[in-house]
Structure 1
Amino acid sequence: MPSMPKSRFWTRTDTAGAEHALLDDGRGLAARGTMLAVDPVPWTCRYQVTTDPDWITTRLEVEVEGTGWLRSVRLERAADRWRVTTAEQGDLDAALAAAGHAPAGLPGTDDPDRLADARDVDLGGSPLFNTLPVRRLGLAGAPADTTHRITVAWVLVPSLAVVPAEQVYTSLGPGRVRFASDSFSADLDLDAEGYTLRYPGLAERGDGR
């Protein structure tokens, strides 16, 4: 496994948790990372994501593990179609029920063609993945009020269900982007490379950069 020249670390502000990503963004993005959180049940998530040189996502692999269960999903894009494969051990729904939460349902998707318009993936709870459309669309240096409406393949955590989601990114000037999806919106502070420094209500960078 190749070493990575860059590192980013975030502390969750919505719950106890963190994310550490190792990455190489010399030609597109190759990254692997680990996320931890205690909500809705304690879990550890490991991921690897790859884009082409234009920052269009080509592959995402995710594995999430908690007490008595483990799930994984792999998304691969080729010829403008997504292939989605999943695996599951143990019983996440039983762990959720014991903690008083609703069932998660099955990982993956029963219809990958619903993801056909997605050029980006979004991993729930990860501020790293906002960088994919920011860099692909050149939003970090775009004039204020530049807006792009996109479809992403949204991977929910910890269920690893994959659903299409419409998102809107609007440049607010240098170093700031507004992210919106349905009725939710947040103004993100970015570093000079387009990585999230502060995502209100979710995470803040803790690597001192």
Structure 2
Amino acid sequence: MPRSLFWSRTDTAGAEHAVLDDGAGFAAHGTQLAVDPIPYTCRYRLVTGSDGATTSLAVEVEGAGWSRSVRLERGADGWRVRTGEQGDLDAALRAVGQPPAGLPGIEDTDRLHAALDVDLGGSALFNSLPIRRLGLAGAASSTEHRITVAWVLVPSLEVVAGEQVYTALGPGRVGFTSDTFRTELEVDGEGLVRHYPGLADRADLG
């Protein structure tokens, strides 16, 4: 049966709702709402293979007077990235004193060659992908797992190759490091994030 998850943002006014279908692989579609750095709505569709590695991610984000989209697909020959843009996100950012955004997508997809997972800015769901793929949710303390992810920044939808480190700290706890940022994630028995300090808390929907 599909499963519905809801997170409240703790870093800004906002929320995320995702519907998951955990069959042979893992599929999810969801919506983010947030007001930082400007108000936006972000919708995504995610598919992974039976090995837990991401096969596709489509993201659309929109605000007042602008919208952007990006689609990532991973095949035997690497990643393909397609983008779309309408309106002027940079003008909307300048109007509230924010710096301009980068262009959507990525210029050199070879930088994503080692990436098996994707990450989406502001989302608590996407950290669950490597946690599940690496079997860290119920594991005892383990060594570090250093991985490359295709990280989609929001709201720009710029795609960058990000290095992340995941470490099992015991049942329900996973250490997470990205550049100089370090935190401890609380996850359920399926590896889905319950609590991401400073970002989001998951509601208990019963």
Q: Say whether the fold is shared (TM-score over 0.5).
A: yes
TM-score of the superposed pair, with normalisation by structure 2: 0.98
SS state at 1:103 partner:
coil
Q: Pairwise mapping of residues 140-151 of structure 1 onto structure 2 (< 5 A)? A: 140-151=137-148
State the Cα deviation string for residues 71-107 of structure 1 (Å, max 9, x = none). 0000000014000000000000000000100000210
SS state at 2:84 partner:
strand
State the Cα deviation string for residues 154-205 of structure 1 (Å, max 9, x = none). 0000000000000000011000001101100110011111111100000000
Match of 2:71 in 1: 74
Picking from 103, 108, 111, the partner of 2:105 is 108
Task: For 1:35, give the aligned amino acid.
Answer: Q
Kindly indicate whether the alpha-carbon contact (under 8 Å) linking 2:47 and 2:54 is maintained by their aligned counterparts in 1: yes
Kindly indicate whether the alpha-carbon contact (under 8 Å) linking 1:125 and 1:157 is maintained by their aligned counterparts in 2: yes
CA apart distance, 1:27: 1.6
- Is 1:204 matched with 2:201? yes
CA apart distance, 1:146: 3.0
> Whole-Å Cα distance in 1 between the matches of residues 73 and 4 of structure 2?
24
Match of 1:154 in 2: 151
> Whole-Å Cα distance in 2 between the matches of residues 80 and 173 of structure 1?
37
- Is 1:32 matched with 2:29? yes
Query: Which runs of no fewer than 5 residues in structure 2 stay unpaired?
Result: none
Q: Pairwise mapping of residues 1-209 of structure 1 onto structure 2 (< 5 A)? A: 5-208=2-205
> Whole-Å Cα distance in 2 between the matches of residues 173 and 159 of structure 1?
36
Query: Which runs of no fewer than 5 residues in structure 1 stay unpaired?
Result: none
Kindly indicate whether the alpha-carbon contact (under 8 Å) linking 1:10 and 1:207 is maintained by their aligned counterparts in 2: no
State the Cα deviation string for residues 121-166 of structure 1 (Å, max 9, x = none). 0001101001100010001122213320000000000000000000
| Percent of paired sites with the same residue | 69
> Whole-Å Cα distance in 1 between the matches of residues 21 and 51 of structure 2?
14
Give the alignment's Cα RMSD to 1 decimal: 1.0
Kindly indicate whether the alpha-carbon contact (under 8 Å) linking 2:70 and 2:105 is maintained by their aligned counterparts in 1: yes
CA apart distance, 1:120: 0.2
Task: For 1:195, give the aligned amino acid.
Answer: L
